[in-house]
Amino acid sequence: MCSYPDSETFRVAERGYLDDQPNLLTAKVLRFQGLQASKVEYLFAHPKAEVLEFHNCYWDIGAEPIHTKTRAIKFVETTINDDRLSDILCRFPKLRSLVYFRPSDEVDTCMDMLGRELAEHGQNLEHLELYNDGLMSFATPFAYLHMLGNLKTLEMDLELLIGFLDYPREYDDDYCMDDAGFESSSEEEEETTTDYEEEKEEEINYYAGEWSLVKLLPPSLEKLTLHIEQPKLGLYFDTYERFGAKFEELIMTAAAAAAAEGSRFDKLHWVSAPRLDLVAEKLRDNNNNNNNNNNKSTTTGWVLVEEHIMTRTTPLGGAQAEADAAAGDARL
């Protein structure tokens, strides 16, 4: 996402233009607050603005393409008419960056349809951020992201990628809790609680089971950031096989691709997610075991820079590789 200082950001709210702002004609960012997009549509053809931000707005415009310099759009708590991301992608054919914070009161819970629209109309996207604001449950996760052939950076909540709940239900507050207990005073309530616990156990086993980052992500990625709330880590991903192994597979795939140009994830060089220190430890143990067994071993070329960040140094070379190695552990 393009980043500009406040001195180049022009804000438009319900009461009109705000005071103490830069010249509208020279602004690089237009930030709209609490407005219908159709009311300010005339500003989209701004001669210099490269970024449009919509905060608590309502997008009610169609897909007719317009000539504009807009390269990045950010939606925060903004309702999109019929959830048609395709309208935005078609309207701004030069769009390269999209940030979408799902509104906390969003009623449509089929994220896979949004993923399909991204795959069909977002092939020019290079930067994508997706967040489940409010931690609301949903029927289906984002799908088809692996089809975004030019995507370079992806940042999103892990739940939107792999899914958690089959369908929104009454106990959303328990969605992020470590346990599923409900105190009851009647036998009927106790029986209901037991059924719910069994259902939740099945859900945990399903959603923390057979999924693969290598299959879900676009192979063109260069940087990946995945977020997950701490309570969910203890609930869904309490073993290495359910979480760390998924990142180990991705990093090993990228490491293998570094030796064969044109392979999947050959450009991936930066991964951020919780508990990557455990992944680094496992890779280091595997490498040491290979050496002890007198096997011909090669390093992955990845280093642990911080507890939640790993970077690939081998293909970067020069000063960047030295800086990463100095900041992190020894190469794995």
Question: For residue 281, what pLDDT is reported?
Answer: 92
User: Would strands 79-80 and 97-101 be described as parallel, antiparallel, or unpaired?
Assistant: unpaired
Return d(Cα 116, Cα 159) in angstroms, integer: 17
Question: For residue 313, what pLDDT is reported?
Answer: 84
Intervals of the chain under pLDDT 70: 1-3, 16-20, 22, 82-83, 107-109, 133-139, 164-209, 261-262, 289-299, 314-332
Question: For residue 197, what pLDDT is reported?
Answer: 67
Return d(Cα 325, Cα 88) in angstroms, integer: 41
pTM over 0.85, yes/no: no
Question: For residue 181, what pLDDT is reported?
Answer: 31
Give yes or no for a contact between 72 and 50, defined as CB atoms under 8 angstroms apart: yes
Contacts of 97 (CB under 8 A, 6+ apart): 1, 2, 71, 72, 73, 125, 126, 127, 128
Render the burial of 12-46: b for 16+ CB within 10 Å, e for the rest: beeeeeeeeebeeeebbbbbbbebebeebeebbeb
Return d(Cα 259, Cα 328) in angstroms, integer: 22
Question: For residue 19, what pLDDT is reported?
Answer: 56
Return d(Cα 212, Cα 194) in angstroms, integer: 31
- pLDDT 10s digits, 254-273: 988 877 755 789 999 999 99
List, as one string, the DSSP characters of 200-236. HHHHHHHHTSS--HHHHS-TT-SEEEEE--HHHHHHH
